[in-house]
Structure 1
């Protein structure tokens, strides 16, 4: 194991910057699709589902989005440990092909008018392949970027990838809105909805090229050189890291619900339930997501100085206290108040996300890091993140209360807050005495 100087702990190498771009490409594709799918949901409903009730068709479209998350845990279980066996770089090259290819496939699918019930079946199949591939994206990308980053800049570097994901949501929804404006509802329903999905293929090919040019992380290369690669990373992760993985499940509840609410539910909530125009809803969410994208790496850098735990507590406590007031402000019908409310939620996400990725990676040694992160991450995202649009829409329709989704967010935020307070130890190097170069500070067991 080579020694490091204080300068090494601060300097971001050119290779680390290349890794950030490569990791960001996959995140971009994943969140680009989320932004696109959310804004085009009504057009997808018209093309893939036949129903006299637009709400029923929209719920069916959101259900397909949720079904796409069903295979994420299996993808995480396969690709997470694969990254621990053959390397993060090789695994990420495979993953970007799957995610971009399946997103592209959605753009060429036949509609219900052409093939009947086969159309939604094919849509579900494409979403499931996409979910399987996406299950290996985040854990491998975080592990690769974390292991290339200076140890006292890991919060900033890993959270920068999340910032790229938010930018992708803006790009995806912005492209969709531009097409709606230029083409009109008729052309968009007929063929225009396909364009954003078709663009995923060239994006994926660029991502593949960049990822193939990367070196794997120094820590993984060292494991290969010394024969330290885990023979069965999944078994080892459950044997040595199961309690830390359980804690991550509790912490990740807020990540799942807050992210997918901001980028996939709230745009349609504003334009559907609250009566804002499409332009007003897009402007509101674009401003909020754009500010969030900038704020996330800033908060990541702050977590390198203040520590991960204070940021996680502040973000989750903020959601417990401010989600209902934010939803109430949105319900008043003012664009200014809606932007303010969305900014509140976006900045709270930034505070939380700034610390999260680095904290996850710091819980596990390199030989099981990707798999041990992938399993809880994808289980929680599938169960709670992917179902946010459906559950929130159902809550409003069932209760007749436009603010009902806020209570769901607050409940899960309270669970995350309890885990952040009681079950997480500080892992940021500057906030821990004699923090090791590679071995993480263990999670306090619940």
Structure 2
């Protein structure tokens, strides 16, 4: 390939940038809510649960968060294949309505003092609707962006989904910190906690407008034109891609536990178990997640050059080795140490996530891509991601050790490392072998 043709094949088109914005808005809302819920967990606990034991109330709040993840697999099973049948763009428009609407609804819910036991019941219902909608966000957004991107830049482009997700958590963290500093704890407990949730409504309106105006991916439009759209994407996914889906379940363990530990558990862990002030905990979280958000696209670009597999191995091995030292460093009580520890964990997530989205999409042909990604992704996120804050808080309470959650993270990281080493083949296209005018065949299935 001559240098001009190679440069053209790697160029990110205006349409791809527009797709990045459209996919990113919905992804921002999903992760904004995750971050806000975790960061405001102590305020939610005092408003929706009555208990003389603050730990019990906090556990109840995290349990509701986990319940919200119960419907994610059903949402993935519904919206993932739906994206393969009617298109990624239309499905994403529906999803952003559900996720933004339910997040806004949390901001207007009555509290326990107003309606008693009905308050936590309504909170559970809203979280379930939210989880159902979120089940279709990631797979369709990644598929749409992947299919609009140059083949040699897909790691970079798809990694922006995770970068945007972390940036949403930064925004949520910074907003919560600002509100606490301006309003004080009493006002935040009384009514200030509602503000971050209410902001989801204008964000959702913007996201819906952009997504409605968007074109679907070239690959899906080609499938429609040729009559190649799968009649039953779910059955076809299990028939032809079951091995790859099983491998993804193992690889996704680390993503699930690391993401939700960083954005949902660690903020309350710092302020509760480790004795940091709320302001110190939020500041530490904001810095660490901000660095992570910036690093993810950088690592995505690196995965286009060195491959997906080395990045996945490096990230998961890093968690096996460094999680306990990071937790120990946080336990020493210094804000500076806590920032360093959380930033190290965040950078390891960035290394892993930089390669993950493109690797997932490269496992499957366009006919079944969204559904085949959605099913393992949401199963693992539901089973492990949503329960991280609860399990980690329970481990600390039951063992009396502030370092106990680190062993849980290390164990699941070791499982992911095993899958990454033994069951993943390299799927990143080599730049010197990719013709700009021709798409390569779908990536091979992972080896058994």
- The two structures have a TM-score, normalised by structure 2, of 0.97
Q: Which shows bigger deviation, 43-52 or 179-188?
A: 179-188
Gaps spanning 5+ residues in structure 1: where?
Answer: none
Establish whether residue 311 from structure 1 lines up as the match of residue 305 from structure 2. no
How many Å separate the matches in 1 of 2:423 and 2:373? 16
How many Å separate the matches in 1 of 2:164 and 2:94? 20
Q: 1:245-268: CA deviations, max 9, x gaps?
A: 000000000000000000111111
Residue aligning to 1:221: 221
- What pairs with 1:45-444 in structure 2 (closer than 5 Å)? 45-430=45-430, 437-444=439-446
How many Å separate the matches in 2 of 1:235 and 1:287? 44
C-alpha contact (below 8 Å) 1:307/1:431 kept by paired residues: no
C-alpha contact (below 8 Å) 2:173/2:285 kept by paired residues: no
Q: CA deviation at 1:433?
A: 6.3
C-alpha contact (below 8 Å) 2:177/2:283 kept by paired residues: no
How many Å separate the matches in 2 of 1:281 and 1:432? 47
SS in 1 for 2:228: coil
How many Å separate the matches in 1 of 2:161 and 2:446? 27
The alpha-carbon distance between structure 1 residues 63 and 189, as it changes in their structure 2 partners (threshold 3 A), is: same
C-alpha contact (below 8 Å) 2:362/2:443 kept by paired residues: yes
Q: Which shows bigger deviation, 396-405 or 179-188?
A: 179-188
C-alpha contact (below 8 Å) 1:75/1:134 kept by paired residues: yes
C-alpha contact (below 8 Å) 2:359/2:427 kept by paired residues: yes
How many Å separate the matches in 2 of 1:443 and 1:349? 25
SS in 2 for 1:69: helix
C-alpha contact (below 8 Å) 1:8/1:150 kept by paired residues: no
How many Å separate the matches in 1 of 2:443 and 2:402? 43
How many Å separate the matches in 1 of 2:441 and 2:206? 34
Q: CA deviation at 1:353?
A: 0.2
The alpha-carbon distance between structure 1 residues 438 and 210, as it changes in their structure 2 partners (threshold 3 A), is: farther
Residue aligning to 1:26: 26
C-alpha contact (below 8 Å) 1:78/1:136 kept by paired residues: yes
C-alpha contact (below 8 Å) 1:427/1:440 kept by paired residues: no
Q: 1:117-162: CA deviations, max 9, x gaps?
A: 1110000000000000000000000000000000000000000121
C-alpha contact (below 8 Å) 2:434/2:440 kept by paired residues: no
Q: 1:163-196: CA deviations, max 9, x gaps?
A: 1111100101211121111111221111111111
How many Å separate the matches in 2 of 1:439 and 1:88? 21
Over the aligned positions, Cα root-mean-square deviation in angstroms equals 1.4
Gaps spanning 5+ residues in structure 2: where?
Answer: none
How many Å separate the matches in 1 of 2:345 and 2:420? 19
How many Å separate the matches in 1 of 2:441 and 2:61? 44
Q: CA deviation at 1:27?
A: 1.0
Q: How many residues align?
A: 443
C-alpha contact (below 8 Å) 1:306/1:431 kept by paired residues: no
Q: CA deviation at 1:8?
A: 4.1
Q: 1:54-78: CA deviations, max 9, x gaps?
A: 1100000000000000000000000
C-alpha contact (below 8 Å) 1:39/1:177 kept by paired residues: no
Q: CA deviation at 1:445?
A: 3.3
SS in 2 for 1:6: helix
Q: 1:3-30: CA deviations, max 9, x gaps?
A: x953442010000001111111111101
How many Å separate the matches in 2 of 1:254 and 1:438? 29
